[in-house]
Amino acid sequence: MKNILSMSQFSNQDVYDLVDRAIEFKEGKTCSVGADKYAMNLFFENSTRTKSSFQVAEMNLGMKEVAFEAGSSSTTKGETLYDTVRTIESIGASVAVIRHPEDEFYNQLLGKNINIPIINAGDGTGQHPSQSLLDMMTIFEHFGQFEGLKIGIIGDLTHSRVAHSNAEILTRLGAEVSFGGLDSWYTPEFAEIGPHMSVDDLCSEMDVVMLLRVQHERLSEDENKSFSKEDYFNEFGIDMRRVDLMKADTMIMHPAPVNRGVEIADDVVECEKSFIFQQMHNGVFMRMAMIEAVLQGENTADELINNQHK
């Protein structure tokens, strides 16, 4: 595949292939596809997990990272994203991993004179394919399949690229997706996918309870002013009482960063049912599989998307 931009570019088989490959890496398989190649990670929004696990994945594949800090880059002088990526390609980078606040930022780059692969590390409120794929890996490791699984996604759906990516791909893989959180976050886009339920019902019925952070940085001043952490936690937060409602093998997931005491209680973050740190661990192996796939340039459904943008 040339680029990784959105979950919609993947066939179900592509997802299974990436999950299988990531599990092989986790089991110790090595690959030197990146030897003598340079990677650049262009993060225009903050990140801890995604950026550092791409860095580790790149090093595991034999690549060297050329450091890039958005705040000290020439984008602060008005250089466009296109010129920035064209520049790093000219300098010798073989892959650009990009997180950007603009939805579908990659449309500025496609069909132009950029030949290195682009990996979307999160576009605005759009998509987060690497998080989604590592989530699929984590669910697959636990349940061995997706068909018929009941998945509850609770939280700030509208602003969450993870919610967009995961609701889409899980439905396509045969899971039944339901939602929880503020009514105002349950927009028609999500209503088309599955029902809105109380958090107690979601905890009792779901195989996976997937929590999302309230994205205060994307809320308006008024929304932030009227937000009460205590009220939110009482109505939608997962505490041990709600954990006790869950089935024995229910997974609690969260892309992190978590806001302890808001969507999740302190003692739930690392409880027996929590896979939060397992998700982060798996992220390195999934990102290795993704980088390998773009460096090998295999053709998949994403070529169609790419061509549509040309």
Cα–chain center distance at 94: 22
Residue 262 tokens, joined:
């808001």
Nearer to ligand CP (CB atom), residue 51 or residue 196: 51
Q: Is the peptide bond before 257 cis (omega within 30 degrees of 0)?
A: yes
Residue ranges in contact with ligand CP by CB under 6 A:
47-50, 122, 131, 255-257
We find the least distance from the C-beta atom of residue 255 to ligand CP, in angstroms, to be 4
Residue 26 known to bind ligand: no
Residue 260 known to bind ligand: no
Residue 22 known to bind ligand: no
User: Do residues 70 and 42 touch, judged by C-beta distance below 8 A?
Assistant: yes
We find the least distance from the C-beta atom of residue 279 to ligand CP, in angstroms, to be 8
Nearer to ligand CP (CB atom), residue 86 or residue 106: 106
Residue 50 known to bind ligand: yes
Q: Sheet holding 150-154: strands in order across? A: 176-180, 150-154, 208-211, 251-253
We find the least distance from the C-beta atom of residue 43 to ligand CP, in angstroms, to be 8
Nearer to ligand CP (CB atom), residue 47 or residue 73: 47
We find the least distance from the C-beta atom of residue 256 to ligand CP, in angstroms, to be 5
Nearer to ligand CP (CB atom), residue 203 or residue 256: 256
Nearer to ligand CP (CB atom), residue 26 or residue 49: 49
Residue 213 known to bind ligand: yes
Residues contacting residue 33 through CB under 8 Å, at least 6 positions apart = 61, 62, 291, 292, 295, 296
We find the least distance from the C-beta atom of residue 99 to ligand CP, in angstroms, to be 7
Residue 195 known to bind ligand: no
Residue 287 known to bind ligand: no
Residue 250 known to bind ligand: no
We find the least distance from the C-beta atom of residue 103 to ligand CP, in angstroms, to be 16
Nearer to ligand CP (CB atom), residue 21 or residue 99: 99
Residue 117 known to bind ligand: no
- Residue 9's nearest CA partner among 122, 142, 127 is 127
Nearer to ligand CP (CB atom), residue 48 or residue 198: 48
We find the least distance from the C-beta atom of residue 148 to ligand CP, in angstroms, to be 27
The binding site for L-aspartate consists of 77, 161, 213
The binding site consists of 49-50, 77, 99, 128, 131, 161, 213, 256-257
The binding site for carbamoyl phosphate consists of 49-50, 99, 128, 131, 256-257
